[in-house]
Amino acid sequence: MTAPEGRGIGTDTSFRILHVSTGNVCRSPITERLTRHALCDRLGDPMGGGLIVESAGTWGHEGAPMEANAEIVLADFGADASGFVGRELLDEHVIRADLVLTATRDHRAQVISMGHSAGLRTFTLKEFTRLVRAIDPATLPDPADDGMVERARALVRAAAALRGWLLAPSAEADEVNDPYGAPITFFRSIGEEIQQALDPVVTALTGVPTKR
């Protein structure tokens, strides 16, 4: 299958981030909207610099709203939950994504198994965070000179190069557990976990630190 124009292979001015979980009603919606919120916080625009953030589920509830507890978690962080609609993960989503961040290693394996040369741009969220922390920001393109899209693409290449050298302390360290059906207290702990993992990623992507 030929990738349509729009995939981040140097032919487009955008960079697509795809968050993947199981049902696309808990973890990936939280991660998608927290990413957008962080981009807006740093750049003043949730699509600032050409970064586009989406989500889907390997067993996605097509057309479903996110879980009510997920909406509460987003409200806790001041993020916008409105207008969300669940999606089932399709080939076209993977083809167009420049970076795929999954909740678990199983999700990562499922994305990679779809083909489309996805292996070098697919990570679990926590895996990507761990790799990003090891990358010297000075080695990445300056977004002011080269644009944020080029910086983001360079970051993905650098993380992929590190993957075989910087291993997780345990398999579970790279996973975000599923809060589906759990009480709000567990949802909030997962939300905090996702937020902490996203912060260094968005900083590395944009070159702009969190506003304290």
CA pair distance 61, 40, nearest whole angstrom = 27
What phi-psi label fits residue 63: left (phi over 0), alpha (psi between -120 and 50 degrees) or beta? Answer: left
Tens digits of per-residue pLDDT, 165-194? 878 788 788 999 999 999 999 999 999 999
Condensed to tens digits (0 to 9), the pLDDT of residues 18-71 reads 999 999 999 999 999 999 999 999 988 766 679 999 999 999 889 999 999 999
The H or E element containing residue 95 is helix 91-96
Residue 11: the pLDDT is 44
Instruction: Write out the two tokens for 86.
Output: 């669940």
Q: Which two tokens stand for residue 71?
A: 């909406």
Confidence of residue 4 (pLDDT cuts 50, 70, 90): very low
Going by the DSSP 8-state scheme, the letter that residue 2 receives in this structure is P
Model pLDDT, residue 73:
98
Q: What radius of gyration, in Å, describes the C-alpha atoms of the chain?
A: 16
In this prediction, residues 67-86 reach a mean pLDDT of: 97
The rounded distance, in Å, linking the Cα atoms of 54 and 56 is 7
Q: What is the pLDDT of residue 13?
A: 86
pLDDT single digits (tens) 105-127: 999 999 999 988 999 999 999 99
Q: Distance (Å, rounded) from C-alpha 40 to C-alpha 210?
A: 11
Block residue for tokens 């993380």: 159
Cα 77 off chain centre by: 17
Q: What is the mean pLDDT of the chain?
A: 91
* pTM of this structure: 0.92
**Is the Cβ–Cβ distance between 2 and 94 less than 8 Å?**
no
